[in-house]
Amino acid sequence: MVKTEKQIFANDAKKVARRPKVIVVGAGFGGLNAVEKLADVAVDIVLVDRDNYHGFWPLLYQVATSGLGPQDIARPIRAIFKGRQPNLDIVLGNVVSINLQDKTVCIEGEKSLSYDYLVLSPGSSTADFGIEGVNEFAFPLKTLPDATALRDHILTSFELADADDLYIEKGALNFVIAGGGPTGVEVAGALSELVKKNLSQDFHHLDVSRSRIILVETTDHLLGQFSKPSQRRALEGLISKGVEVHLGQSIASVARDHVVLGDSSIIPTATVIWTAGIRANPLLDTLGVQQMRNGAVVVGQDLSIPNHSEVFVIGDSAYAIDKKGAPLPQLAPFAVQGGRHVAKCIRNDLSYTPRPKFSYLNKGIMATIGRRSAVAEIPVVGLKLGGTIGWISWLLVHLLFLIDFRQKIMVLWSWVWNYFTWERSSRVIIGTVPIPHASQLFSNHPLVESSDLGPKGVDPQDSIQPLSD
């Protein structure tokens, strides 16, 4: 049948009217910023994440050490965009593969979604570096379930030790932290304060001084991205809090009831907190493109994948270099700036103007060691802060970047209350099997139950592949 002129014009109008579809994978810092900056652009956006919330992961360690509750650092994605971005659809699902040739995203249990532009911000998982026992017996700290499982474990360890001193001899109160980066340092400092200022008051009949907090770092310094004065300040701060710091030492293996160090020494423990490294989300392995050893995808100057200009990778998933050829840091500011840059590239494409090159602005790095003790370096203005000033700067910056006003108020109140009272209010045990390997290491105790779901009472694979940066 021959089409009439009217039908031809109608079909052409439909083609013109079709808006490009942008799929954003991951509702972390990068994904959210990309979505927000596309609010007034003539595109249809689909934001996909396996969780229904955005988490402020720089404060995840405070959930693990009872300083904050999960609700203090997480905000439902739909609430973030409620009523203010009509070009956005949100899909709760786990992306399992991506077909670059067909331009489709496959969601587990759902049909594939097609895209014109794809923004990948799926975050990272824990890197075990091939060390025996890490995946089975160590605690990662990448997601809210990770943080609450670790909190439950720590609190229950003290409950068991209070019931029977035998548990202390078996290592129930020995806490080994693998990795001397910002997360490892912050966990060590916060855990020390929790034990000395809170749990020592909670357990009147328990000799809390027998608890050991041990930080193991393979290099000869802490905080590798910081200057030597800041590294030295962090080391002195942790030692003053009673943390045992082992520099130039590695972890050879992790078992259910002990850890073996590189020098063959053995530390009895049921708690190894793994902050030693990250690997890009395994989802990226399905792309079939160039990746670095840590799984990060090599991207071009506009953060797109070479030969696939419609696909961008940002945050922990991206390997990008600066003007000097040095890799850009896998930090939240990189993800935030990457998300905004990608939105600008898409906007420019639609207006037929050249894409800008990505230029990373290093606004600084920070790490807190504990109350009135932190290090902060701001290269833009050449500042290196420490002590109380560094700590206040850390507090203000983290409050500023919390996404929700209610969260800002709640976190600020928690910090003020803690400062004047030393009280950490989030000391509740909510898990069913908080102690890993409890049925074998800490047997015959009413608080310990067996489980078919692995060492933490959950499938360990459920918490190592987050879809958010």
Q: Which residues are catalytic?
A: 186
Please give the Cα distance from 252 to 292 (Å, whole number): 24
DSSP 46-65: EEEESSSEEE-GGGHHHHHT
SS3 content of the chain, % helix, strand, coil (to 5): 35, 25, 40
Distance CA 444, CA 448 (A): 7
* 3-class secondary structure, 67: coil
Give the span between the Cα atoms of 411 and 10, in whole angstroms: 55
Sheet holding 95-99, edge to edge: 95-99, 104-107, 113-114
User: How far from the centroid of its chain's Cα atoms is residue 28's Cα?
Assistant: 9
DSSP string, 12-29: HHHHHHPPPEEEEE--SH
**Amino acid at residue number 463:** S
What Å distances lie between residue 391 and 39, 56, 138, 366, CA to CA?
36, 19, 30, 9
Collapsing DSSP to helix, strand or coil, 143 comes out as coil
CA dist., res. 343 & res. 353, Å (int): 13
Give the contacts of 101 (CB within 8 A, at least 6 positions apart): none
Report the distance separating Cα 166 and Cα 75, nearest Å: 42
Angle (CA) 464-466-469 rounded to 5° is: 130
CA distances from 330 to 57, 125, 201, 225, 261 (A): 13, 13, 39, 11, 27
For residue 2, the tally of other CB atoms under 10 A from its CB is: 4
Say if residues 312 and 342 touch (Cβ distance below 8 Å): yes
Rounded (10°) angle between helices 29-37 and 332-350: 30
For residues 339 and 9, give the distance between their C-alpha atoms in angstroms, rounded to a whole number: 38
